[in-house]
């Protein structure tokens, strides 16, 4: 068997920068690099290029101003970028011709890139593979792009050779809204790399260390700000102070305090050991999102939660019951579904003192990762769709 000659078209390249690029990188980490082309937005070229896949990359120009207020200038930038559509189509046609492309893959970020992928696949009669990581119809900032998407939305989804969706909640929502059947696809990890290091000793008398890895956005900020406030006020559990250690590109300075510290950016290869040494890993979601954000909260799931479960450490979810995060990962985690200090304290105390409860969650969480988010699952659930028999002599 061999892999199809594949064109990956997206705003971002598979990389180690953030959730969606990390998911994409893991999806194609085992793909034959000689049979993979990435067409992406040039503004991403300077972000961790050392983490890009070792395949051919082609950039298209992007428009960014950095001007504020963002509510005014970001929609203008989105409209300018949407106007690249025909240029992206032209570059895609050239790659298809030169590289003898056999299939096209894209995912949800921006409008012009995934929709160029769709129209190129139609134009050339190629299989079209689509992975919706976030609800594309609820994050469009350009009014022109929004009208374009609404006009083509159902055909775009229904004509996918394979439609993958990020969460069970999104599968149910799209079945109801669009009459399409998607399959679950999320994040994959090498489970063996997350085994607890031999000889690791835990300090059960010092501070309880809660760890957060990742970026800050509208979905996670509110819950983490509330947690930081409670910890900085002096929360103790089972006679031990509780601390939050933040790892990522940055941390909002207003969250920092006596119990909350920013520890810097962590490389991918350092993540397993970092998680293994933590006492608790926190996965946040917006408790009371505005209407424009609620659709994302209902259907999205943080990439990092798979890594957290793979580490075998206790996972604390801060978020509402209607969130996609709780819907999928709730049975394997401790959930605080409202901003209530007493419930937060009770949840942390149970994690700190109830070893049987923690072990049950750990066992079931590892089973979930092994069956649905491991490298073996990646090969059967995703990569197998891009394999074709070798040509005969």
Helix (H) or strand (E) holding 146: helix 143-158
* Residue 23, pLDDT above cutoff 90: yes
H helix intervals, 278-381: 291-299, 304-311, 324-329, 341-353, 355-372, 375-381
- CB 116, CB 149: distance < 8 Å: no
Average of pLDDT values for 4-19? 92
Residue 364, token pair as written in the block: 């079931």
Q: Spell out a b/e string for 204-240, using b for 16 or more CB atoms within 10 Å of the CB, else e.
A: eeeebbbbbbbebeebbebbbbbbbbbbbeebebeeb
- Distance, CA of 147 to CA of 243 (rounded, Å): 47
- Distance, CA of 205 to CA of 240 (rounded, Å): 7
Cβ neighbors of 359 (< 8 A, separation 6 or more) are none
- Distance, CA of 33 to CA of 15 (rounded, Å): 14
* Residue 172, pLDDT above cutoff 60: yes
- CB 245, CB 261: distance < 8 Å: yes
Query: Mean pLDDT of all residues in the chain?
Result: 94
Average of pLDDT values for 119-137? 95
Map out the domains of the chain with their CATH numbers: 2-188+374-388 (3.40.50.2000), 192-372 (3.40.50.2000)
pTM of the complete model: 0.93
Sign, Cα dihedral of 343, 309, 139, 172? negative
Distance in angstroms between the alpha carbons of the first and the last residue of the chain: 14
Question: CA nearest 281: which of 367, 194, 161?
Answer: 194
Share of the chain above pLDDT 70, in %: 99
Q: In which band, very low, low, confident or very high, does the pLDDT at 199 lie, cut at 50, 70 and 90? A: low
Question: CA nearest 116: which of 70, 82, 147, 141?
Answer: 82
- CB 299, CB 133: distance < 8 Å: no
* Residue 300, pLDDT above cutoff 60: yes
DSSP 234: T
Q: In this predicted structure, what is the pLDDT of residue 36?
A: 98
């Amino acid at each position: 068997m061999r892999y199809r000659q594949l064109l990956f078209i997206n705003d971002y390249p598979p990389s180690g920068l953030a959730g969606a690029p990390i998911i994409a990188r893991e999806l194609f980490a085992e793909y034959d690099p000689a049979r993979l082309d990435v067409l992406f937005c040039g503004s991403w070229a300077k972000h961790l290029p050392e983490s890009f896949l070792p395949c051919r990359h082609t950039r298209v120009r992007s428009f960014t101003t950095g001007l504020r207020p963002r509510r005014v200038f970001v929609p203008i930038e989105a409209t300018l970028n949407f106007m690249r559509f025909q240029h992206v189509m032209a570059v895609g046609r050239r790659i298809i011709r030169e590289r003898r492309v056999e299939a096209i893959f894209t995912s949800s970020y921006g409008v012009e890139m995934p929709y160029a992928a769709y129209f190129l696949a139609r134009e050339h009669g190629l299989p079209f593979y689509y992975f919706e990581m976030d609800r594309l119809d609820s994050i469009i900032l350009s009014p022109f792009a929004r009208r374009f998407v609404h006009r083509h939305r159902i055909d775009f989804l229904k004509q996918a050779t394979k439609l993958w969706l990020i969460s069970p909640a999104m599968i149910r929502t799209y079945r109801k809204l669009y009459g399409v059947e998607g399959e679950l696809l999320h994040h994959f990890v090498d489970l063996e790399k997350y085994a607890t290091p031999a000889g690791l000793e835990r300090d059960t008398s010092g501070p309880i260390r809660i760890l957060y890895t990742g970026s800050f956005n509208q979905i996670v900020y509110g819950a983490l700000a509330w947690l930081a406030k409670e910890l900085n006020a002096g929360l103790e559990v089972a006679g031990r102070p509780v601390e939050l250690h933040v790892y990522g590109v940055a941390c909002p300075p207003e969250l920092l305090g006596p119990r909350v510290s920013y520890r810097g950016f962590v490389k991918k290869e350092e993540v397993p050991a970092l998680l293994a040494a933590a006492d608790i890993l926190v996965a946040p979601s917006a408790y009371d999102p505005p209407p424009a954000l609620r659709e994302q909260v209902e259907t999205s799931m943080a990439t990092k939660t798979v890594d957290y479960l793979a580490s075998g450490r206790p996972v604390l979810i801060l978020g509402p019951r209607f969130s996609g995060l709780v819907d999928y990962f709730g049975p394997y985690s401790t959930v605080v579904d409202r901003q209530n200090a007493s419930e937060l304290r009770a949840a942390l105390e149970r994690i700190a003192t109830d070893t049987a409860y923690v072990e049950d969650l750990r066992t079931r969480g590892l089973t979930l990762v092994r069956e649905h988010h491991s490298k073996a699952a990646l090969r059967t659930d995703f990569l197998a769709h891009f394999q074709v028999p070798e040509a005969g002599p």
